[in-house]
Structure 1
Amino acid sequence: MYLPKRLDRENGKEYAYRVLKDNIMSLELKPGQSISETELAQELGISRTPIREVLMKLKEEHLIEVKPQIGTYVSLIDRRLVEEAFFMRYHLEKEAMKLACTKFPEDKLIELEKSLMSQRLIAGKQKREIEFHKLDIEFHGIIFSGVNLEEVWNGILKISTHYNRLRLIAEIKYSNSITIEQHEKFVEVIKNNDFENAQSLVTDHLEKPRKGWKYIFNTDSEYKDYFKE
């Protein structure tokens, strides 16, 4: 498990939540992997009480499964939750892009271009998939922020814990060059107030990657044990 340093003014519970969630979302803690409160407390250097509270919070976010008398596990990826998250993001991002093509702040446009530049720098490089994945999420978050829908994006992220883990697997498996090309189009569409092409761009960006999921779901895939039956 990856253990970053505790941030200034970050208490034990906040630190444990950040570390555990980041490790689950990055697949460092794999779907189905068992978790020990005692071992976590020792590794993080905090008592078991905040660990227990954090595990309950992560359970509410569908990231932890507690089996009475058996143990605590990282939740397997549930395709139903993936589809629900996709539905929410697909429809809300279309609406956000409508607003972005109407009016978008210059400072946010600069943020998008900086994010895009960072994506280009690490695209295709080995062991940088997680970093690219985070930049991808950040990129779309900037769009929502630019149209004053930050909390809507936060809501999407909250429901997308299974969806984003599946997306990360796909990004590790396949090239991210198409993602960058599409992100470039997002910037151009917003710059040019290209309302007509905004909707189809969101559809292409979110729908096309789903075609590659078929292999990941196959029974002979190396990821087959990551999914709930």
Structure 2
Amino acid sequence: MMEVFEQLPGENAKHYAKRALLYNLVNLEMKPGDKITESDLCELYGISRTPIREAILELHQQNMIDIYPKQGTFVSYIDTAAIDEFLELRNLMEQSVTQLACEKLTPDNIAYLRENIVQWKHHLKNDNLAKTQACDKEFHKYIYCACGKQFWHNIIRENAYQFDRIVILMFSSINTDKLVKDHSDMVDAFEAHDKEKAFEISLCHTKRYIEHLDEFLVKYPNYFKK
């Protein structure tokens, strides 16, 4: 069932529509292949058709929504080829970022990351997938920002939505203890200024998200692009 949010103070209707739609797309409340009807979304979110249409067009450009003339508008299927390209980009960036983190992170930065891990464990225990994923995103964002690489992080986030759906599938169906340990081990490597170890853990961590991909293809065959 689709989540409905309140419009934030100062948030225009298009940004509100895109934020709400993106949440539901990423968290698979809107399933790949589902048909999207603008009038239904207008009623659900209490806004006019123009901002809904603008949000849909932007999400189409980000490959989260497919638009077929004379057929309709649909939630895009998960594209494994796009995810492979995204992970190649992320690994290239993280080779530099993990090295910088070993040089730049302060004791306060390390403490913040350890607190994030505590929160992640709490949300996992309570089966709150959205908050679990939010903690995961915040962990990585914080490292980039603390290293002065906010722009790099923005590039990653703007291209991560296909990958985010794989993350949700993993959190919902696979034991994630190894992911949590990766974060903890990564922080230990940052604190020890061990650049080689930090990058090694980062590569291993990224691979964990796709090591069950074949299982997902079997379990959720209708979610993936043929």
TM-score, structure 2 normalization: 0.95
Counterpart in the other structure of 2:213: 213
Deviation at 1:86, TM superposition (A): 0.9
Is the contact between residue 179 and residue 208 of structure 2 (CA under 8 Å) also seen in structure 1? no
Is the contact between residue 31 and residue 223 of structure 2 (CA under 8 Å) also seen in structure 1? yes
Counterpart in the other structure of 1:191: 191
Deviation at 1:132, TM superposition (A): 0.8
Residue correspondence of structure 1 range 104-119 to structure 2 within 5 A = 104-119=105-120
Q: Cα RMSD between the aligned structures?
A: 1.3
Within the alignment, does 1:160 sit opposite 2:163 as a pair? no
2:51 and 2:107 map into 1 onto residues whose CA distance is 42
Counterpart in the other structure of 2:135: 135
Counterpart in the other structure of 1:37: 38
2:136 and 2:47 map into 1 onto residues whose CA distance is 33
Amino acid at match of 2:60: K
Say how many residue pairs are matched.
Answer: 225
Deviation at 1:43, TM superposition (A): 1.2
Deviation at 1:87, TM superposition (A): 0.7
Counterpart in the other structure of 1:67: 68
Q: Secondary structure at the match of 1:46?
A: coil
Deviation at 1:53, TM superposition (A): 0.8
Is the contact between residue 104 and residue 146 of structure 1 (CA under 8 Å) also seen in structure 2? yes
Amino acid at match of 2:38: E
Amino acid at match of 2:135: L
Identity fraction in percent: 28
Deviation at 1:161, TM superposition (A): 1.2
Counterpart in the other structure of 2:171: 171
The runs of 5 or more residues in structure 2 that have no matched partner are none
Counterpart in the other structure of 1:227: 224
Deviations 1:23-65 (A, max 9, x none): 1111111111111111111111111011111110111111110
1:182 and 1:210 map into 2 onto residues whose CA distance is 15
Counterpart in the other structure of 1:146: 146
Deviation at 1:190, TM superposition (A): 1.0
Residue correspondence of structure 1 range 35-114 to structure 2 within 5 A = 35-114=36-115
2:106 and 2:15 map into 1 onto residues whose CA distance is 33
Is the contact between residue 31 and residue 226 of structure 1 (CA under 8 Å) also seen in structure 2? yes
Amino acid at match of 1:25: V
Higher mean alpha-carbon deviation, 191-200 vs 67-76, is at 191-200
